[in-house]
A = this chain, B = another copy of it.
Amino acid sequence: MITISRRVAMTVAATATFAFATSSWAADSLPSWKDGATKQSIVQFVEAVTTQGSPDFVPVPERIATFDNDGTLWAEQPIYTQIFFLVDRVKAMAPQHPEWKTQEPFASVLKGDVRGVTAGGEAGVAALLTATHSGMTTDEFSRSVSDWIATAKHPKTGQPFTAMVYQPMLELLDYLRANGFKTYIVSGGGIEFMRPWTEKVYGIPPEQVIGSTGGLKFDMQDGKYVLHKLPNIVLNDDKDGKPVGIQRHIGRRPIAAFGNSDGDLQMLQWTCSGSGRRFCLYVHHTDGAREWAYDRGSHIGALGKGLDEAKLRGWTVVDMKDDWNKVFAFE
């Protein structure tokens, strides 16, 4: 153990010197990242693609970076934040739906069983999503999200969900944007669930949010034009759906992609198989003390195939415990 620690310490020291030698500003802009191979791989990539005359130089318009959200930019345990929202919506809507008291999966959810949301399988989740995420206008839905996220608290930390974002990733988003990158979210979560708060929390505007997408209907309500949310799905923005969503929305292949689960694998494959210099990174949840420790076989954010492919391809894997000085700003 002591030998390994010394080796690590020496590597860190050597890396730190290198990082400062190449760009002290870059090192300063990622203070929550420990000096080491992981941070070095990020800085080296950014410097390679942004240095005029570098063989890897990429013009600003093509500097597209895509980020998964759940588990990559903010915590996804014990269950996705959107599920907590869904549960609270079921409770808020229950007085108008007395039949839910005995009708599954609503009955379980009303009894406070968060796991009940997924216990009914895909059909159960679909019924809950239909009830809580469709039938209203986009403006009404957006308001319900904004109102909820302003007050809802994470059950473990008691922090607002928007405080459950990873400080090192916020720094990384800023660092990339300062270097001419356009940063996008590409999440399996609902596009309209994220848009009301991503600009404030991540500096990512609504038009740079890609997510699972439901149907919309242009309509008239109370003499005003509205868009009604429909229950059908037009994009399931997970796995194969991620490169599809990227092409639909962006129309060019990213040069950098960031994920944390096997659901992000196709996005990373698509990104890193393009020509020229590319960067793919997996956030590996290894910190059971400050966050959660999970990978293969996890019921949320399972990471198995992705870890294998990262090793095979030489992608960067963040060891949250060892690579991050800080996980959450509130620590």
Contact = CB atoms under 8 A, between A and B. Distances in A.
Contact of A61 (B205, B218, B240, B251): B205
B247 A138 contact: yes
Given A206-B251, A273-B225, A218 B195 contact: no
Interface of A: 61, 64, 138, 182, 191-192, 195, 199, 205-207, 209, 213, 216-218, 224-225, 227, 234-235, 240, 243-244, 247-252, 266, 269-270, 273
Contact of A225 (B61, B182, B192, B269): B269
A191 B273 CA distance: 23
A227 B243 contact: yes
Contact of A251 (B191, B217, B273): B191
A270 to B, nearest CB: 5
B243 A209 contact: no
Contacts of A207: 64, 182, 249-252
B266 A240 contact: no
A270 B218 contact: yes
Contacts of A269: 225
A248 B213 contact: yes
A216 B244 CA distance: 6
B247 A216 contact: yes
Contact of A199 (B61, B64, B192): B61
A122 B213 CA distance: 27
A246 B206 CA distance: 11
13 contacts: A61-B199, A207-B250, A207-B252, A209-B251, A213-B248, A216-B247, A216-B248, A218-B244, A218-B266, A224-B273, A225-B270, A234-B234, A249-B249
Contacts of A218: 240, 243-244, 266, 270
Nearest to A62: B205
A163 to B, nearest CB: 23
A136 to B, nearest CB: 14
For the complex of A and B, the 7 pairs showing the least CB-CB separation, nearest first, are: A206-B251, A218-B240, A207-B250, A216-B244, A195-B251, A225-B273, A218-B243
